[in-house]
């Protein structure tokens, strides 16, 4: 695997003579870790799955002499593929219509093994903060602070020396630490607030909504130019409530079905119309109030949300 500047070349080497099952078993053993890294790197479950599949293809073609540790090699491949993908995607995100939010991920239980660990590193708030970082900074921060790799391992994965990795991590932490989310709500409190929010917004209860939102609540929405959304971030409870009630009257069909769910490890719900996901809403709770509200309506980002008959 060669590196030129910040552009990694994950070369395809000659096919080895390992028994196919041996390579497949090693890959399957670490597949969940690979997806966990890729999703947090890219903010997209579909792109993460593509990176995992590409990792397997590259993994099959690496010679025995290059593999000291299957886990280390697989993580190196997926990390470098994600860095390359992000470098190409940055232009697309700069040209994205309105706000860009991560592709919402339905997290069924806190014990879900497919995501390494369900914690604040999966939250919309944290993934949005990661957009401040360049791909190398993003990879370094995640590998160190989320996946607990030491500096020597990160240096090997990124093809840098340890001193450079320490500097990159310091810079990355400075860019995200100040606004890093601190979630104080229990799962029960989060679900209770979510159900109260649904009830108040459904019935057009302005006072009820104001009682649930912090005065400096922040509202994010992502329609990608393909569905109803607000192109700018909205601040303040009264502005957010006015927007929500207006949007409910104008855009929400009467036949929608709401399903409360855990989204990216946080309380949320899925709005269904004709059995298909139309919007995904998730919130951050702080001090017993909703501090941030995220709504994704871009249909391309809802493809991974199961149909209503599947989640019920």
What is the structure's pLDDT at 117? 63
Residues 6+ apart with CB under 8 A from 85: 42, 47, 51
In the structure, what pLDDT confidence band is assigned to residue 110 with cuts at 50, 70 and 90? very low
Mean pLDDT (the chain) is: 87
What is the structure's pLDDT at 113? 54
Q: Are 260 and 272 in contact (CB under 8 A)?
A: no
Q: Rounded to an integer, what is the distance from CA 299 to the centroid of its chain?
A: 16
Length of the chain: 312
In the structure, what pLDDT confidence band is assigned to residue 184 with cuts at 50, 70 and 90? low
Is the pLDDT at 41 greater than 50? The verdict is yes
Is the pLDDT at 10 greater than 80? The verdict is no
Cα(104)–Cα(45) distance, integer angstroms: 8
Task: Count Cα neighbours of 231 within 13 Å in the Cβ-side half-sphere.
Answer: 6
In the structure, what pLDDT confidence band is assigned to residue 20 with cuts at 50, 70 and 90? low
Mean pLDDT, residues 102-113 taken together: 73
Dihedral pair phi/psi, residue 107, rounded to 5°: -110, 110
Point out which residues pair with 281 in neighbouring strands.
269, 295
pLDDT > 70: what percent of the chain? 88
What is the structure's pLDDT at 6? 59
Point out which residues pair with 290 in neighbouring strands.
213, 285
Mean pLDDT, residues 121-130 taken together: 92
SS (H, E, C) the chain: CEEECCEEECCCCCCCCCCHHHHHHHHHHHHHHHHHHHHHHHCCHHHHHHHHHHHHHHHHCCCHHHCCCHHHHHHHHHHHHHHHHHHHHHHHHHCCCCCCCCCCCECCCCCCHHHCCCCHHHCHHHHHHHCCCCHHHHHHHHHHHHCCCCHHHHHHHHCCCHHHHHHHHHHHHHHHCCCCCCCCCCHHHHHHHHHHHHHHHHCCCHHHHHHHEEEEEEEEEECCCCCCCCCCCEECHHHHHHHHHHHHHHHCCCCCEEEEEEECCEEEEEEEECCEEEEEEEEEEECCEEEEEEEECCHHHCCCCCCHHHHC
What is the structure's pLDDT at 249? 84
pLDDT digits (tens, 9 = 90+) for 27-39: 999 999 999 999 9
Residues 6+ apart with CB under 8 A from 225: 97, 98
Taking Cα atoms as reference points, which of 111, 129, 160 lies closest to residue 145?
129
Q: Which long-range contacts (CB under 8 A, 24 or more apart) does 144-152 make?
A: 144/169, 145/121, 145/169, 145/173, 146/40, 146/116, 146/121, 147/33, 147/36, 147/37, 147/116
Mean pLDDT, residues 247-254 taken together: 82
pLDDT digits (tens, 9 = 90+) for 257-308: 999 998 998 889 999 999 999 999 999 998 899 999 999 999 999 999 999 8
Mean pLDDT, residues 174-187 taken together: 76
């Amino acid at each position: 695997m060669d590196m030129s500047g910040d552009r990694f070349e994950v070369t395809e080497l000659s096919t080895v003579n390992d028994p196919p099952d041996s390579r497949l078993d090693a890959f399957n053993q670490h597949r969940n870790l690979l997806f966990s890294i890729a999703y947090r790197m890219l903010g997209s479950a579909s792109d993460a799955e593509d990176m995992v599949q590409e990792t397997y293809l590259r993994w099959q073609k690496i010679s025995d002499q290059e593999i000291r540790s299957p886990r280390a090699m697989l993580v190196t491949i997926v990390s470098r593929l994600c860095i390359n993908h992000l470098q190409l995607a940055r232009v697309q995100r700069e040209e994205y219509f309105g706000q860009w939010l991560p592709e919402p991920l339905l997290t069924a239980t806190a014990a879900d093994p497919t995501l390494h660990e369900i914690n604040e590193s999966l939250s919309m708030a944290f993934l949005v903060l990661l957009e401040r970082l360049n791909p190398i900074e993003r990879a370094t921060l995640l590998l160190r602070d989320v996946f607990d790799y030491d500096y020597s391992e990160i240096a090997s994965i990124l093809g840098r020396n340890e001193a450079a990795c320490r500097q990159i991590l310091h810079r990355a932490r400075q860019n995200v630490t100040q606004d890093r989310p601190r979630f104080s709500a229990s799962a029960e409190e989060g679900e209770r607030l979510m159900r109260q929010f649904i009830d108040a917004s459904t019935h057009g209860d302005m006072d009820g909504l104001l009682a649930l939102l912090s005065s400096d609540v922040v509202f994010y929405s992502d329609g990608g130019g393909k569905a109803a959304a607000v192109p700018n971030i909205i601040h303040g409870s009264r502005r957010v409530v006015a927007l929500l009630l207006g949007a409910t009257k104008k855009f929400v069909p009467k036949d929608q079905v709401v399903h409360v769910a855990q989204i990216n490890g946080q309380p949320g719900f899925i709005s269904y119309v004709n059995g298909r996901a139309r919007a995904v809403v998730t919130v951050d709770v702080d001090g017993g109030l909703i501090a941030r509200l995220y709504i994704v309506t871009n249909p391309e980002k809802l493809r991974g949300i199961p149909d209503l008959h599947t989640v019920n």
